[in-house]
Structure 1
Amino acid sequence: MSVENCDGSLSVSLRNILNSIQCIRDRVRDGESNESDGAFNLSNFWDTLNQAVKAVSQEATKLTLAFSRPPLPSLQDGEKLSESMLKSILTLSTVYYWLPKSQGVTLRRQVRDATVEVLEGVAQLLEVILGSPLGSLTQEQLTSTGGVWSACDQFAQLPKENKGALLVVLSSQTGVVKDAIEEMEQALSEAQDPFNDVLDDDQDEDNRRGNQDTYWSERDRQVISPCRGLMKAAAACMRKLTAAVKANGDVAGPQSVAQLDDLADISRELSPSVDDLALCLYPPMDYSGVENNVSKLAALLKRFLEIIRSSHVCGESELTWVQFLEGAVDHNLQKAKVLIEMDS
């Protein structure tokens, strides 16, 4: 077989495995776990999954080395490399499917996302190899191989049960809420009429700029105060819940696991609602939009606190701050409504 024909056949083999991996990736992204009536050993799952991830990383390295320098592998060796790569991918996806929803939807979502990232990394590596002259090593190949290694390495950092998975969600969402509050605080501290330093001192009062599209009026600032109070209540709720989960979170039974999932789901709703409120507070302020977003965030916080109250993470000490935050939400909601409706 000529060199050109060999190169072409090797490319066909690589293209076939790429198509297979893309199909597997799509199935993992959208597929469901295989629930079984038998006992599930979580420790055994993690041991097997980590072995599968390590195998994928090793196969990706072999593939890069084989096609990055001459001589190219023979057609037979190239097919063996492709088959070995595909086998490692199939093993990884199969082990992922072992993880049942009963271990926690939140945990399963994070394992799924990590698995998909590995599959996407391998698919990208294959695309780079196919797009480069076979037998040459490019910076893009090195980068793509490093991407696969990085995606595989992150499995060691994944939470091992649903309590840890919820804490990952809370950490992420708390950061988003905190950023929204800090940005608003920064804007308020710096805010002024941005054109006041370019207006002539002797300008007639009648000619002074009459709109406030780019800065807050005094009434705007009054309305913002209880809105900030609601946003801070959201941040406090996340902080307090994190501590409660660390202290009381339990994964021993299906009901406790499901409650952790409920907390994760509503936590993911909170940061977008805080962002929506923060964005509508910037000038020019639309009071009807502010009132709508205030009401939405307050309702969400009340529902969040009720879910916390009825969950196993809420003990006697937690009940105190739950009740306090419920009062804070009601107070800021009513105060905001009064200020918005004033003189309207």
Structure 2
Amino acid sequence: MSAENCDVNLTVPLRNVLNSIQCIRDRVRDGESNASDGAFNLSNFWDTLNQAVKAVSQEATKLSLAFSKPPLPSQQDGEKLSESILKSVLTLSTVYYWLPKSQGVTLRRQVRDATVEVLEGVQQLLEVILSSPLQSLSQEQLTSTGGVWSACDRFARMPRDNKAALLVVLSSQTGVVKDAIEEIEQALSEVQDPFSDVLDDEEDGDDPRGNQDTYWSERDRCLMAPCQGLMKAAAACLRKLAAAVRTHGDCGSAQNVAQLDDLADISREVSPSLDDLALCLYPPMDYSGVETNVSKLAALLKKFLEIVRSSHTCGESELTWVQFLEGAVSHNLQKAADLIQQDG
């Protein structure tokens, strides 16, 4: 048998597996979970899922090693390797489907994303093996094998219930909001135009610093204060909610699980809304955009606090900061509106 025929006999099953995994990935990414009839054992789910993830990692390693150096596997061994990797991937996707929405949409979304990441890692590994000389170990193959390991290792750090999944969302949102606030503060701390170092190379000596569109006027800076106040209120909402969830968050009933999902949904809206406002604040300041986005962010934060207030995560001690932040949001909204009207 020629080397060419040998390569063809080995690549055909690999290509078939690749096509199958692409279909499985698409179904996992877009599909629905199985309905849960009766009790669901979350602990058993995680044990089984982790075993499935470990199997995928092991099969991907075997596959990569088999095609890393001569001699190539026989046609029979190549088919066995292809069947084994496909079986492990099918098992992983099947176990993922066990997780019902009743355990929390937020948790399920994070498990889904992690599962898709593993499937895409295996898919990339197969693509690299198929596109490389079959008897050589390329850096790309090493990297893609490591990518599968990394995606599988992520499961050890996954949130185990909807409460933990919400805390992941809050941590992510808090980080993004904190960065946006710090960027604005850094830009404001510059006495001169914050973009001067970018523009200096383009100055020809004619009216340097004459373009006021590149820095804030005193009037702009006055309006920045309530906008920053609103942004800091957003950060406080996320931080305070995270503390409340850690203290009171509970997954013991369908109602509580659904409330955690509602909190996750509203929390995900905070950083995009804050970013929209921040973009309008950079010079030249867009007063119309500021007015629109201040109103949108304030409305979102009021809705956020109302959802917190009506959830099981809000005890008596939480009511104090909920009321305080509601006042802070209203105060900064009114102050911004007054300044914009005055400037107009």
TM-score, normalised via structure 2 length: 0.95
**Cα distance in 1, alignment partners of residues 343 and 102 from structure 2:** 54
Cα deviation code 1:105-164 (max 9, x no counterpart): 000000000000000000000000001111211111111101100100010000000000
1:71, CA displacement in angstroms?
Answer: 1.1
Cα deviation code 1:272-315 (max 9, x no counterpart): 11111111100001111100000000000000000000000000
Residues 107 and 165 in structure 1, CA contact (< 8 A), matched pair in contact too:
yes
Residues 162 and 257 in structure 2, CA contact (< 8 A), matched pair in contact too:
yes
**Cα distance in 2, alignment partners of residues 147 and 8 from structure 1:** 26
Paired residue type of 1:213: D
Moved over 3 A (4+): 193-198, 207-211
SS at match of 2:330: helix
> Which residue matches 1:174?
174
Residues 60 and 85 in structure 1, CA contact (< 8 A), matched pair in contact too:
yes
- Residues matched between the structures, number: 338
TM-score, normalised via structure 1 length: 0.95
> Which residue matches 2:336?
336
- Alpha-carbon spacing, 1:3–1:112, altered in 2? closer, same or farther (3 Å): same
> Which residue matches 1:25?
25
1:70, CA displacement in angstroms?
Answer: 1.1
Paired residue type of 1:86: L
1:209, CA displacement in angstroms?
Answer: 6.1
1:269-288 equivalent positions in 2, closer than 5 A: 269-288=269-288
- Alpha-carbon spacing, 1:121–1:195, altered in 2? closer, same or farther (3 Å): closer
> Which residue matches 1:7?
7
SS at match of 2:212: coil
> Which residue matches 1:55?
55
- Alpha-carbon spacing, 1:134–1:210, altered in 2? closer, same or farther (3 Å): closer
> Which residue matches 1:138?
138
> Which residue matches 1:214?
214
Cα deviation code 1:81-114 (max 9, x no counterpart): 1001000000000000000000000000000000
1:4, CA displacement in angstroms?
Answer: 1.7
**Cα distance in 2, alignment partners of residues 109 and 283 from structure 1:** 38
**Cα distance in 2, alignment partners of residues 6 and 160 from structure 1:** 46
> Which residue matches 1:189?
189
Residues 24 and 93 in structure 2, CA contact (< 8 A), matched pair in contact too:
yes
Identity %: 83
Residues 191 and 216 in structure 1, CA contact (< 8 A), matched pair in contact too:
no
**Cα distance in 2, alignment partners of residues 102 and 259 from structure 1:** 12
1:246-285 equivalent positions in 2, closer than 5 A: 246-285=246-285
SS at match of 2:163: helix
Residues 191 and 215 in structure 1, CA contact (< 8 A), matched pair in contact too:
no
Which deviates more, 302-311 or 134-143? 134-143
